[in-house]
Amino acid sequence: MCGYILFVNLCGCYGGFEFDTSCHRIFEELNRINDADAWGPDTINELPFSFPDE
């Protein structure tokens, strides 16, 4: 399970995410597959996810 916290500062602006377990890696991969550059000819074979064997 992925647990995260989104910090909201007193000014009302958002801070960063704080992740538990492997959530940070999952968040990075979701951002990567939503990036148009990730769908280029050099990186298309790495989609949708690229997790190392752990």
Q: pLDDT at position 16, please?
A: 72
pLDDT 10s digits, 8-35: 878 878 777 676 666 777 777 777 777 7
Higher pLDDT, 49 or 43: 43
Q: What distance in Å separates the CA atoms of residue 41 and residue 37, rounded to the nearest whole number?
A: 9
Which DSSP state fits 45? Answer: G
Residue range 33-42: mean pLDDT, rounded: 76
Q: What distance in Å separates the CA atoms of residue 46 and residue 40, rounded to the nearest whole number?
A: 10
Answer yes or no: pTM beyond 0.95. no
Is 54's pLDDT higher than 60? no
Q: pLDDT at position 29, please?
A: 73
